[in-house]
Copies of this chain bind each other. A is one copy, B any other.
Amino acid sequence: MEEKTLKSERIYEGRLVNLRQDAVVLSSGRETVREVVEHPNCVAIVAIDSEDNVVMVRQFRKPVEGVLLEIPAGVIELGEEPQQCALRELEEETGYMAGKMERIGGFYSSPGYSTEFLHLFLATDLQRGSTRPDEDEIIEVVSIPWEQILGLIVAGEVCDAKSIVGLFTVAFSCEEVKK
């Protein structure tokens, strides 16, 4: 099934994403072109405090022209381990330091056109620190009781893939951990 690359043309190199066009040959012998968005790998964190609240963030997302309610997440920096990144991003975005940061999964966000892979973490044993958002991030931190979370997903109030995957994963696999 593999698609062999005949030629790769770099279209754009940007701040967060690159774009390239790969001319490929399919296993059928047919040739076609694949557009590939190169995006760095990321972490996403389901953070649950001692009172069973999920720590989430609200921020404006330009591509969708709206404010979304999401779990904290961010790009893994050069040389950084996913777990380090998860600890850093959680603290920067929400002000919480996690005593325990456990990897509970990983997934591609849009494998049809993007290279992005997200490592999913469960953060517990939270201590309050101070937020240090990136200069171009304006983030509101919101704590939501765990028992309301699935209702928010069903109602479409939580409507981005990484948050839904993260929260469902915790609901399914880690019910005992979050207690």
Residues of chain A at the chain B interface (Cβ within 8 Å): 1-3, 5, 11-12, 14-17, 19, 21-22, 24, 26-28, 30, 32-37, 39, 58-64, 67-68, 70, 73, 105-118, 135-136, 138, 140, 150, 153-154, 156, 159-162, 164-165, 168-169, 171-173
Contacts and interface: CB of A to CB of B under 8 A. Distances in A.
Interface core residue of A105, A117, A168 (most chain B CB under 10 Å): A168
A138 B1 contact: yes
A37 B14 contact: no
Main secondary structure of the interface of A (DSSP, over half): mixed
B159 A161 contact: no
A160 to B, nearest CB: 5
26 contacts: A1-B67, A2-B60, A2-B67, A3-B62, A15-B33, A17-B35, A19-B37, A27-B138, A34-B63, A37-B37, A61-B108, A61-B111, A63-B112, A68-B111, A105-B154, A110-B116, A111-B160, A118-B161, A150-B172, A161-B162, A164-B165, A165-B165, A165-B168, A168-B168, A168-B169, A171-B172
A160 B17 contact: no
Contacts of A2: 60, 67
B161 A110 contact: yes
4 residue pairs, one from A and one from B, having the closest CB atoms: A161-B161, A168-B168, A32-B136, A34-B62
Contacts of A162: 110, 161
Interface centre among A15, A68, A70, A107 (most CB of B within 10 A): A107
